[in-house]
Structure 1
Amino acid sequence: MPKLAIPLTDEQIAGLAPRDRPYKISDGHGLYLLVEPTGKKRWRMDFRLRGRKNTLAFGIYPDLSLADARQQCLNTNQLIRDGIDPVEWKRQQRRQAQAAAPATRKFRLSMNDQGGMVIEISSHRMALTVQQVAALRAFLVATGDEIRGE
């Protein structure tokens, strides 16, 4: 029979001091706070699915509040009851978010006095002649893409 954990309070969490070794303070339902020797306090949850023990990390306190960590724990327990691996589910959510996010790169454009252009992306640099800039403009106009900065 599992032990009953007394729910944590924000005052208790704020008063937790680091020790020589990491230690756990349980909140219940598998949720606990891992206090590291550096003083960082990480929300974690241990669970069993299909006979295997696993750990899921939620975030760092106080960036992730006690109430938010409890809500994530309840959501995770629901996934486990439905037979869904929460670690794999979290990975899949991250992949979907990355696929939905537009691929952007930071770059810098500069024009010289003759009408040429220099494009710089991190360690790469490309210089365009006046004729190449004109061809690029014509291409952008022909494809219907906007030209900004004019």
Structure 2
Amino acid sequence: MPKLAMPLTEEQIGALVPRERRYRVGDGHGLYLLVEPTGKKRWRMSFHLRGRESTVAFGDYPDMSLADARQQCINANRLISDGIDPVEWKRQQRRQAQAATPTTRKFHLSMNAQGGLVIENRSHHMALTAQQVAALRAFLIATGDETQGE
């Protein structure tokens, strides 16, 4: 028979101190607070579905309050009772949100002291020499690109 956890209070959560190894403090219905050695406190929920144990992450405390974590736990338990894996459900929701959001590719252009061009975005950095910039400009002019500036 599973051990019954006493519901946590905000005072108890505030009093939790980090230890050498991470540890769990249960709230009930599978919800627990994982306390890391760094002091970070993370909301998690353990559950069983189709014969296997799994864990779903809800967020970090205090960014996610005790009340919000409990509501997330209730929502996850509803999904589980319908035979839906809450981890997969969260992934699917995230994918749908990303697909619905138009992607914009932001980048930054700058000139260096030698007349070269520097192009940067989140994951790439490219520097063109002055000769490469001249060749690129000549190509754009030759192909009739109307977006090039003077």
State the TM-score bracket (shorter-chain normalisation).
0.7 to 0.9
| Aligned residue number for residue 68 of structure 1 | 68
The answer to whether structure 1 residue 99 and structure 2 residue 108 are counterparts is no
Task: Give a deviation string over 1:87-110, Cα, whole Å, max 9, x none.
Answer: 111111111111122211222357
Asked if the contact 1:107/1:119 (under 8 Å) is kept, the reply is: no
Partners in 2 of 1:70 and 1:119 — Cα distance?
A: 49
Unaligned runs of 5+ in 2: 111-116
Over 4 Å off, 4+ runs? none
Aligned partner of residue 136 in structure 1, secondary structure:
coil
Q: TM-score, normalised by structure 1?
A: 0.76
Partners in 1 of 2:10 and 2:91 — Cα distance?
A: 30
Give the count of matched residue pairs: 132
Q: Displacement, 1:68?
A: 0.8
Aligned partner of residue 92 in structure 1, secondary structure:
helix
Give the alignment's Cα RMSD to 1 decimal: 2.5
Identity of aligned residues (%): 66
Q: TM-score, normalised by structure 2?
A: 0.76
Partners in 2 of 1:77 and 1:47 — Cα distance?
A: 8
Partners in 2 of 1:102 and 1:128 — Cα distance?
A: 30
